[in-house]
């Protein structure tokens, strides 16, 4: 039997997930779509899911008998409403990051899910599914470089649109590191500070770009993350862990080493869709499998909440330059 998916939001990642559900993954098909922009919904259906129905009201889509589970791929500020809507009718929901744009919003989702009594939500944090991050974690867990002391990370996008704001560098971009580094280190954050280097003239005046986020964990590990979303040259994700006994670095995506015109070169990817293509495939296949088995295994609402608690502190730190404490409540047994 094929799981019927309803997709809310048919922009960049919505279309990419519709494509992978219809063309790459097994066990599911897209049966209904919604977007506040009807042309976008029509375009996605025509291109990837000709048999899917366009439903104008997102809450009708969530409640529809034609939908077994929901994918929320609309803009971040709308996620909470749709995830709560799915929990209300007891349907499984895969929600792209961020789960909600504030910790308070994520907390409401956690509470609704716990009240329902069973996990229904998977958050679209795909990096724990990436083979590079998994290999890096295996090295750390093996103890080969001893305890991690420092991490140097970078999250670089070639450019962003005019609606991208300074806080989105945290809530939309850094949120990936806030999730994956917590998982990688098996540790929680205790403080954050944000400092701003010289403004890049390639960034629009309203956007402070680049930024450097400094995090400290409960075990005392120090992390610096450069966020540079107008770096021009490519989509570049870096993570280097300095341990007591050695250094472990996130592998680069594989590329041909070219010798040509008196130079050695390797191409750098320019798009997150390609950089994490395999990870997106595996995370969504895992969601489909989890729904079919009645037991989700992927990143939970609690992971979404934990990342958002740290994100709130980083956004506050952007405004003051001060070191802002991060206090994550104890994880409920429900999410163990
Ligand atoms: P986008 O702007 O390309 O597409 C968003 C779509 O959602 C648009 O078509 C818009 O009309 C629609 N939409 C917005 N509000 C809506 C509402 N209330 N109801 C119905 N439709 C609505 O944005 P993009 O890049 O696809 O991002 C969407 C979400 O996915 C964001 O939360 C973003 O952070 C996340 N994302 C995650 C990525 C990842 O690596 N996991 C990569 C890119 C995006
Ligand atoms: C985008 O929404 C993503 O999630 C990408 O993975 C990230 O690199 C980019 O900065 C975000 O805007």
DSSP string for 96-149: ESPSSSSHHHHHHHHHHHHHHTS--EEEE--GGG-HHHHHHHHHHHHTTT-SEE
CA geometry: angle 219, 225, 229, nearest 5 deg: 155
Residues of the chain short of pLDDT 70, as ranges, are: none
Domain with CATH 3.30.360.10 in the chain: 129-270+319-335
Q: How far apart are CA 192 and CA 321, in angstroms?
A: 10
Question: Which of the four CATH numbers 1.10.1060.10, 3.30.360.10, 3.30.67.10, 3.50.50.60 does domain 129-270+319-335 have?
Answer: 3.30.360.10
Predicted pLDDT at 1: 73
Question: Which of the four CATH numbers 3.40.50.360, 1.10.1200.10, 3.40.50.720, 3.40.50.920 does domain 3-127+278-300 have?
Answer: 3.40.50.720
Q: How far apart are CA 82 and CA 133, in angstroms?
A: 30
- Please tell me whether the peptide bond between 210 and the residue prior to it is cis, using omega within 30 degrees of 0: yes
Q: How far apart are CA 217 and CA 115, in angstroms?
A: 31
Q: Tell me how far the alpha carbon of residue 253 lies from the centroid of ligand 2, in angstroms.
A: 17
Domain with CATH 3.40.50.720 in the chain: 3-127+278-300
The ligand 2 atom at the shortest distance from the C-alpha of residue 160 is: 12
Q: Whose CA is nearest to atom 11 of ligand 2?
A: 173
Predicted pLDDT at 21: 98
Q: Whose CA is nearest to atom 10 of ligand 2?
A: 173
33, β-bridge pairs: 7, 54
What ligand has the least distance to the C-alpha of 169?
2
Name the pTM for this structure: 0.97
Q: Tell me how far the alpha carbon of residue 172 lies from the centroid of ligand 2, in angstroms.
A: 6
Residues lining ligand 2, CB < 6 A? 157, 172-173, 176, 229, 272
Which tokens sit at 192? 């954050």
Q: Tell me how far the alpha carbon of residue 1 lies from the centroid of ligand 2, in angstroms.
A: 33
CA distances from residue 214 to 68, 153, 198, 235 in whole angstroms, order as listed: 42, 10, 17, 21
Phi and psi (nearest 5°) for 28?
Answer: -150, 155
């Amino acid at each position: 039997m094929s799981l019927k998916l309803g997709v809310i939001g048919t922009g960049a990642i919505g279309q990419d997930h519709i494509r992978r559900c219809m063309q790459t993954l097994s066990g599911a098909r897209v049966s209904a779509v919604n977007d506040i922009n009807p042309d976008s919904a029509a375009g996605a259906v025509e291109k990837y899911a000709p048999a899917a129905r366009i439903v104008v009201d997102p809450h009708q889509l969530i409640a529809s008998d034609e939908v077994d589970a929901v994918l929320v791929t609309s803009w971040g500020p709308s996620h909470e409403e749709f995830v709560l809507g799915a929990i209300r009718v007891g349907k499984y929901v895969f929600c792209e990051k961020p789960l909600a744009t504030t910790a308070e919003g994520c907390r409401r989702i956690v509470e609704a899910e716990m009240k329902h009594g069973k996990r229904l939500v998977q958050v679209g944090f795909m990096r724990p599914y990436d083979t590079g991050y998994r290999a890096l974690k295996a090295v750390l867990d093996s103890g080969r470089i001893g305890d991690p002391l420092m991490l140097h990370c970078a999250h670089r996008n070639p450019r962003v649109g005019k609606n991208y704001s300074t806080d989105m560098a945290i809530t939309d971009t850094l949120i990936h590191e806030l999730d994956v580094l917590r998982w990688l280190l098996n540790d929680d954050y205790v403080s954050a500070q944000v400092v701003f280097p010289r403004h890049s003239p390639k960034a629009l005046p309203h956007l402070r770009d680049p930024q450097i986020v400094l995090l400290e964990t409960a075990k005392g590990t120090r992390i610096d993350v450069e966020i540079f979303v107008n770096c021009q040259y490519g989509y570049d994700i870096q993570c280097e862990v300095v341990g007591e006994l050695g250094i472990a670095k996130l592998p680069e995506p594989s590329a041909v080493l070219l010798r040509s015109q008196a130079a050695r070169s390797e191409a750098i990817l320019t798009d997150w869709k390609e950089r994490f293509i395999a990870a997106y495939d595996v995370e969504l296949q895992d969601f489909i499998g989890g729904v079919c088995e009645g037991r989700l295994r992927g990143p939970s609402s609690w992971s979404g909440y934990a990342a958002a608690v740290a994100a709130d502190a980083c956004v506050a730190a952007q405004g003051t330059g001060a070191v802002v404490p991060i206090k994550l409540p104890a994880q409920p047994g429900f999410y163990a």
